[in-house]
Amino acid sequence: MEWEAVIGCEVHCELSTKTKVFCPCEVRFGAEPNTLVCPVCLGMPGTLPVLNEQALVYAMRAAHALHCTVATHTKFDRKNYFYPDLPKGYQISQYDLPLSKVGWIDIGPPDRRKRIGITRVHLEEDTGKLLHEGADGESFLDMNRCGTPLIEIVSDPDLRTPDETFDYLKELRTTLLALGISDCNMEEGSLRCEPNVSIRPKGQAAFGTKTEIKNLNSFKNVRDALVYELERQRKLIESGGKVVQETLLWDAARGVTATMRSKESAHDYRYFPEPDLPPLNLSQQFIHDVLWSLPELPAVKRERYQRELGLPYYDSDVLVQEPEVARYFEETMNAGAPAKEASNWVMGEVLREAKDRKVEVGALPVTPARLAALIALVLGGTISVQAGREVFREMAATGGDPATIVEKKGLVQISDESALQSAVERAIAAHPQAAADVRAGKEKAMGAIVGAVMKETKGRANPKLASDLVRRTLGVS
């Protein structure tokens, strides 16, 4: 039988506000444990949460970017459950009147473009962080994260393959990054994904029983876990078993999903309106002001790079992944570099250098203006592409200006016939067999002679001119 997967995703994204969502404690990853806490986020009795307006604006940005309808009437609710990372005994979340509903996002390259429905985007608070290191049956609890603003993005069950899910998460991340509302760092947990997955015979409309997978800290993990889980469900059903609705944990080391908590899998959160937070009546004006404040989104940028700059889809996709990279590319272009040249250098040297140094492209000593100057030197024939790469490395190491480096290192390309002629003659004299072969029409033999010219000039000879001179000197054209 042919099976079809049905996948939906719940994504949690920490917002990069300065303070927590309901109290003025600072939000900062990596701070000393339990130093960013106060009576409100610790859940002390008698404290009063007050909504951070910036968190609301950020959440609304995400809602707009995902084409959701933002509610004019929305409120917070208590989701009641006991877990040690949430001492209040409830999470402040949104239930029946979420901030926004019913949107979409387009995912995937042109040959498998697909529109994925967004069920809702709502605002809630993050929990504390448990470290299971205690040997004595205790866990350590760090409450710095507790109360960090979090948006929950729920997709419709529109995804059909692990690859599509990967595309969905990639586009979602790129979009959230462009909005400037989160660093989307999966390793630090600021972007977390919990897919739910079921299978059904292809052509059947009804859904099968789904499982939810947690503990996925990279997009690759998500894809691997889904591949494994789909196969597990298929084998189970084909051997006469039944899928149990449950939450599974992905074990990346062993490459398997395992049951998380068997007891208490039936959730009964007893949601009710949060009495400590008054409801929100959002004006159309406010909602629209946030909409108009959105930056150009990656999907639009990608289209523009292809249509207006003539870049291939691949280039446009690489360049829009991180807003910093797109900005760097555009500034290089604005400084005079042709689009495709700027794209090649940014996708190649710039991204590689940033990756090697583990920094954002904006932090590289090479400014876009200097990259544009370097590109001009290459395009103008002053230096070869090869030398250009060497100059780039030097610029990245010292922050110098390309023209100065070219001069200092003596990299100016030799494009003067008279300056090359003697080197060409020496190369021919040193390679008599190759010279004879070229005369006999064996084009391949050119390599040895031109190579010798390049070697003698330390790579500075203009390669095209060198070839022309070799041919002319040998009397072939």
Interface residue list for another protein (CB under 8 A):
17-19, 24-26, 32-39, 42, 50-56, 73, 75, 80, 82-84, 97, 130-132, 134, 137-143, 260, 268, 270, 273, 275, 277-282
Secondary structure class of 90 (helix, strand, coil): strand
Cα 47 to Cα 39: distance, rounded to the nearest angstrom: 7
Nearer to another protein, 96 or 356 (CB): 96
Rounded to the nearest whole angstrom, what is the least distance from the CB of residue 248 to another protein in the complex? 13
Rounded to the nearest whole angstrom, what is the least distance from the CB of residue 218 to another protein in the complex? 21
Rounded to the nearest whole angstrom, what is the least distance from the CB of residue 18 to another protein in the complex? 5
CB neighbour burial string for 119-129, b if at least 16 within 10 angstroms, e if fewer: bbbbbbbbbbb
Nearer to another protein, 132 or 444 (CB): 132
Rounded to the nearest whole angstrom, what is the least distance from the CB of residue 268 to another protein in the complex? 6
* Structure-token match 């997009």, residue found: 219
Nearer to another protein, 139 or 422 (CB): 139
Rounded to the nearest whole angstrom, what is the least distance from the CB of residue 163 to another protein in the complex? 31
Nearer to another protein, 138 or 417 (CB): 138
Pairing of strands 191-201, 3-14: antiparallel
Rounded to the nearest whole angstrom, what is the least distance from the CB of residue 211 to another protein in the complex? 18
Asked if residue 68 lies in contact with residue 118, where contact means CB atoms within 8 angstroms, the answer is: yes
Secondary structure class of 41 (helix, strand, coil): coil
Closest C-alpha among 140, 147, 103 to residue 125:
147
Residues composing the chain? 477
Cα 343 to Cα 350: distance, rounded to the nearest angstrom: 10
Nearer to another protein, 53 or 308 (CB): 53
Nearer to another protein, 28 or 67 (CB): 28
Rounded to the nearest whole angstrom, what is the least distance from the CB of residue 280 to another protein in the complex? 6
Cα 320 to Cα 340: distance, rounded to the nearest angstrom: 15
Which stretches within 309-350 are classed as H helix? 313-320, 323-334, 339-345
Rounded to the nearest whole angstrom, what is the least distance from the CB of residue 289 to another protein in the complex? 14
Cα 295 to Cα 149: distance, rounded to the nearest angstrom: 21
Closest C-alpha among 5, 8, 4, 3 to residue 158:
8
Instruction: Write the DSSP string, 210-232.
Output: -EEEE---SHHHHHHHHHHHHHH
Instruction: Write the DSSP string, 109-127.
Output: -GGG-EEEEEEEEEEEE--
Cα 306 to Cα 368: distance, rounded to the nearest angstrom: 21
Nearer to another protein, 39 or 447 (CB): 39
Nearer to another protein, 171 or 274 (CB): 274
